[in-house]
C-alpha cells in the first residue's frame, strides 16, 4: 500500500459556531493522506487517484458548504473522498482553523479523522 499526501490546501470558507464566522469567513487549511495501492500498478492516471479531482472535491466542500464544526467538515471530506474514489483504500483528513476565535495566543487548531473501506 502506498500513500499520497496533499498538504496545505488553503481555502476561504464560512465554518464555525459564531454568527460572524458564517458572515465574515476565514482561512482553512486541509491536509490529506490517501492510501492507494501502488504495487503492481502501471504508470497511468486511471490506476491511481487523480490529485486534481481530489483538490476539486475538497475545494467545493470547504468553499461552498457550511459546517459549524471543523470535526464535521473533516468527517464529511473523508466520507466523500472514499465515496468518490474507488481506488482509495483509506484516508486521513486534517482540517486546520488557524484563526479560530479563541481568547488567547495559539499557533493552530485542527480536527483530524481517519477512515478506511470496510
Taking only the tens place, the pLDDT of each residue in 70-87 is 999 999 999 999 999 999
Give the CATH number of the domain where residue 99 resides. 3.30.1130.10
pTM of the predicted model, to two decimals? 0.93
DSSP bridge partners of 91: 34, 115
- For residue 100, the enclosing domain spans 2-116
Catalytic residue among 70, 97, 110, 113: 97
Query: What domain count does the chain have?
Result: 1
Q: Residues 77, 81, 40, CA angle at the centre, nearest 5°?
A: 145
Q: Which three cell numbers stand for residue 26?
A: 476565514
- Across the chain, how many H-helices and E-strands are there? 3, 4
The model's pLDDT over 39-76, given as tens digits with 9 standing for 90+, comes to 777 788 777 899 999 999 999 999 999 999 999 999 99
The reply to whether 115 belongs to the active site is: no
Amino acid at each position: 500500500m502506498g500513500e499520497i499526501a496533499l498538504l496545505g490546501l488553503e481555502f476561504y470558507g464560512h465554518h464555525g459556531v459564531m454568527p460572524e464566522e458564517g458572515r465574515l469567513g476565514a482561512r482553512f487549511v486541509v491536509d490529506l493522506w490517501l492510501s492507494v495501492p501502488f504495487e503492481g500498478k502501471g504508470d497511468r492516471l486511471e490506476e491511481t487517484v487523480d490529485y486534481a479531482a481530489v483538490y476539486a472535491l475538497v475545494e467545493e466542500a470547504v468553499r461552498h458548504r457550511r459546517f459549524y464544526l471543523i470535526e464535521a467538515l473533516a468527517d464529511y471530506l473523508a466520507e466523500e473522498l472514499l465515496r468518490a474514489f474507488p481506488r482509495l483504500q483509506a484516508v486521513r483528513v486534517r482540517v486546520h482553523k488557524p484563526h479560530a476565535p479563541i481568547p488567547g495566543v495559539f499557533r493552530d487548531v485542527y480536527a483530524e479523522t481517519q477512515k478506511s473501506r470496510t
